[in-house]
Structure 1
């Protein structure tokens, strides 16, 4: 790939947006490369967590490449799973972690919002400034931000094109942890290690049940529907559900199969 770097470390896939000369802004070719990278991760049973980050120390992603957009015309054509091959990837229950190492604006913020966890360097900032250039945040940012923070705060952030610091984003519940830049990799590894202690089947099932349950009208409906969710049935029939109690009884660490 030309604009995306993919590295695997055990069961963790690292996908790095690699256009540091333009703050990792996404052009049409990069959209397609990200689609392929995330699909390869989703389809690989040996890979359990995906970490997304930007190359360099300045930017996670500045969003869409406006020069490419002005040349090619709007709106651009996105891949199968939407903007950056990620924001409509509702069919992948594996955890995604955004390691935000700098500015995350426009589509960059939307990528972070689409991830399950966000770990940010203390100099990072977030925002949806699309209206300043006559555009609209169509990569899920409007809908996710309005659901992931209080509505009035979301409206203020969006309508005023306001940029949030990492500390502000953390206080609003958009970021799990804020650390110094030189501690970012260590913090991400700690989150990965904690997730990897658990059964990957249980982790994926938990993510899937949360997503499906939020689409139900209330908690009662979610609990009633839960046993019929396909992820719930797959978990009940998995090897991991047997391994956990067995390992506990035998006083050893569980050996998860991920199936």
Structure 2
């Protein structure tokens, strides 16, 4: 989407505006220019990040991604938050990267600055992240969704990697994550032709785990995040680490890591509480320890 975005200096200047209160951190929409960030759920244990460049169909500029990273840091440090949802508008999750911002980059500067390297912050989050995708998720928008741990789609969502039509290729994980999600043949077709997938096609291909009416998408994603947040945060982090390792390690090594993480749960108070509550037939009370 060819809409110019101001530099990340605003986000950097506003970093100090994140409010810290003891072990809990709160973000408020007023601290950001390109996103909205607040807490949702009955217990306010879900962090919600909403991309907010409506006139640009939420095109991803560097300032926006800096603010997403900033909000993620805040929610990761908030002991109350157990899961995070990233969404856009009903019309667009993100229609792509900001082309005007990239148009005049030359190879030496691009290579030296390791351009887009910090756009992968979502993929390294310790807490589970759910993408709630309505409308367009194209190029960088599709890549951002795939950095999340789970994708819920609105029934009118569209997914695609159309960079080939602009004379370039995906640069934030599109060729890698898409191939792992939908397989080589479909990924090749999408990347080499710019083909888009509808929400239903994305569901059939394994790219998304659920399709919902547009108005129900964010509430459904929030409900899923609340379920995740109700479990032990430390055990959830171990489970996420084990699943992510399946994409990096051979089966035997992955099984060894899983076994070690399983053993490690026995060093936690939450494992003891979970099993004791089950045996005593009472409600469990996890403390994240």
Q: Which residue of 1 aligns with 2:38?
A: 7
Task: Name which of 39, 43, 52 aligns with 2:77.
Answer: 43
Among candidates 235, 254, 258, match of residue 284 of structure 2? 254
The answer as to whether partners of 1:3 and 1:18 remain within 8 angstroms in 2 is yes
**Structure 1, residues 149-208: CA drift from partner, whole Å, max 9, x if none?**
121111111111101111110100001111110111232133123323432222221110
- The answer to whether residue 61 in structure 2 is matched with residue 61 in structure 1 is no
Quickly say closer, same or farther: Cα 1:196–1:225, change in 2 above 3 A: closer
TM-score normalised per structure 1: 0.89
CA distance in 2, matches of 1:147, 1:94: 21
Partner of 1:201 in structure 2?
A: 234
Q: How far is the alpha carbon of 1:215 from its aligned partner?
A: 2.2
Report the Cα offset of residue 100 of structure 1: 0.4
Cα distance in 1 between the residues matched to 2:84 and 2:115 = 19
- TM (norm. structure 2) is 0.80
Measure, in 2, the Cα distance between the counterparts of 1:216 and 1:173.
21
- Do residues 83 (structure 1) and 119 (structure 2) align? yes
Give the whole-Å Cα distance in 2 for the aligned partners of 1:40 and 1:81. 20
CA contact (8 A) 2:59 2:95 kept: yes
In the TM superposition, what is the alpha-carbon distance from 1:93 to its structure 2 partner? 2.9
Aligned: 1:240 with 2:274: no
Q: 2:149 aligns with which of 100, 103, 116?
A: 116
Distance 1:34 1:81, change over 3 A: farther
**1:145 paired residue number:** 178
Deviations 1:100-153 (A, max 9, x none): 021000010001111111111111100001111112111011100111112111
Greater alpha carbon shift after TM alignment, 193-202 vs 160-169: 193-202
RMSD, aligned CA: 2.2
- The 1-side partners of 2:47 and 2:191 are apart by 32
Q: Report SS of the residue matched to 2:103.
A: helix
Instruction: Check conservation: 1:130, 1:161, Cα contact below 8 A.
Output: yes
- List alignment gaps of at least 5 residues for structure 2: 1-31
Which residue does the alignment assign to 1:132? 165
Contact 2:83 2:128 in 1 (8 A): yes
Q: Give the Cα–Cα distance (whole angstroms) in 1 for the partners of residues 145 and 49 of structure 2.
A: 13
Q: Distance in 2 between matches of 1:102 and 1:43?
A: 31
Secondary structure at 1:187 match in 2 = helix
Deviation string, structure 1 residues 214-251 (Cα, Å, up to 9, x no partner): 32222x332234344xx556533222111101222332
Whether the 8 Å contact between 1:149 and 1:172 is mirrored in structure 2 is yes
SS at match of 2:146: helix
1:22 Cα deviation from its structure 2 partner: 0.3
Corresponding residue of 1:25:
59
Unaligned runs of 5+ in 1: none
